[in-house]
Amino acid sequence: MGENESAGGGGPERSVRRRALLVGGAAAVAGAAVLGHDALSRLRWKLPGARRPRAAGAVDFGSARWVGASPANYREADRPDDYPIDRVVVHVTQGSFTSAVKAFQDPGHGAAAHYIVRRDGRVTQMIRELDVAFHAGNRAWNERSVGVEHEGFVDDASSFTDAMYAASARLTAQICRRYGIPVDRKHIVGHVEVPGTDHTDPGPHWDWIRYLRLVRAVPPDSPTPSPSGSGAPSGSGGATGPGEGRQAP
């Protein structure tokens, strides 16, 4: 909350904080020793020449459909090289799929997630995993995570269909394999668990035990996604602007 892109773009304090989050408080001092490298990485991705080309319409998850979010609702990055990815954040849209897509395409909304899973199990990708989506309401957590929205309402148990659980589990399983994220409740979390958030999703009807069981059961040979970071550049900007502190539903 209250962290945005105009706030200085990541000083040493933030780097230490991020490292402390990643490796634990005891290693915070050790983290200071690698600030030079951290700062260099940060500078490198800001150079135009270092920007990885984006393939128009390419998705990170094989069966996803691409519908691009407004560049105002994310920040271009080069993850996991500049920011390691070690969390998946589960969200609920608090509205229809269509209204969520519309919101994420609205530059005034200031927030969006990487994916939306519909009730019928269709997966739509709106932001590349390379990039930092403004979904968690917490800058460090935006940088370290992939955000997955689910169509529905936290108070309506019927929102969460079998097809949705199955599709979302396949998506999360692939994300976890891609970045070496352990499949457990420390690394696959609800928006409600992100530090500083006032959101409650996915709510009491989201079945975490079932979800993790499904994620673990996804066979390793499920379709390999094509990486989004290749091919022609999309030409979108989006490296500046407020919104890092805003939250997707």
**Minimum distance from CB of 156 to Zn ion (Å)?**
15
Q: Given the rule CB under 5 A, which of 88-96, 119-127, 151-159, 208-216 is the region that contacts Zn ion?
A: 88-96
Question: Nearest distance from residue 201's CB to Zn ion, in Å?
Answer: 4
Run of H or E residues at 31: helix 28-33
In the stretch 176-205, what mask flags binding to Zn ion with x, by CB under 5 A? ---------------x-------x-x----
Q: Which is nearer to Zn ion, 3 or 201 (CB)?
A: 201
- Active site annotation includes 149: yes
Please, what is the minimum distance in Å from the beta carbon of residue 193 to Zn ion?
11
The stretch among 29-37, 63-71, 84-92, 96-104 that binds Zn ion (CB under 5 A) is 84-92
- DSSP 8-state secondary structure symbol assigned to residue 116: E
Q: Return the number of the residue (52 or 118) whose C-beta is nearest Zn ion.
A: 118
Interface of this chain with Zn ion, residues 200 to 229, rule: CB under 5 A: 201
> How many whole angstroms separate alpha carbon 201 and alpha carbon 149?
10
Q: In 2-13, which positions are buried (b, 16+ CB within 10 angstroms) versus exposed (e)?
A: ebbbeeeebeee
Q: Which is nearer to Zn ion, 218 or 248 (CB)?
A: 248
* Interaction residues for Zn ion, span 6-35 (CB under 5 A): none
Let me know how long the chain is: 249
CB of 194 to Zn ion, least distance (A): 8
Rounded Cα distance, 22 and 210, in Å: 27
Contact pattern from residue 91 through residue 120 relative to Zn ion, giving x for each residue in contact according to CB under 5 A and a dash for the rest: x-----------------------------
Tell me how far apart the alpha carbons of residues 139 and 18 are, in angstroms, rounded to a whole number.
Answer: 9
Beta strands in 3-114 (DSSP E): 65-66, 74-75, 87-92
Nearer of residues 10 and 203 to Zn ion, judged by Cβ: 203
Q: In what order do the strands lie in the sheet with 87-92?
A: 65-66, 123-125, 115-117, 145-150, 87-92, 188-190
Q: Which of 76, 149, 151, 244 is catalytic?
A: 149
The residue count for binding Zn ion (CB under 5 A) is: 4
In sign, the C-alpha dihedral spanning 83, 69, 147, 190 is positive
Determine the Cα–Cα distance for residues 65 and 61; give it in Å rounded to an integer: 9
Q: In 3-state terms, what secondary structure has residue 67?
A: coil
Q: Token match 């805003």: residue?
A: 246
Q: How far is the CB of 137 from Zn ion (least distance, A)?
A: 8
Task: Between 148 and 218, name the residue whose CB sits nearer to Zn ion.
Answer: 148
Which spans of this chain sit near Zn ion (rule: CB under 5 A)?
A: 91, 191, 199, 201
So which residues are the catalytic ones? 149
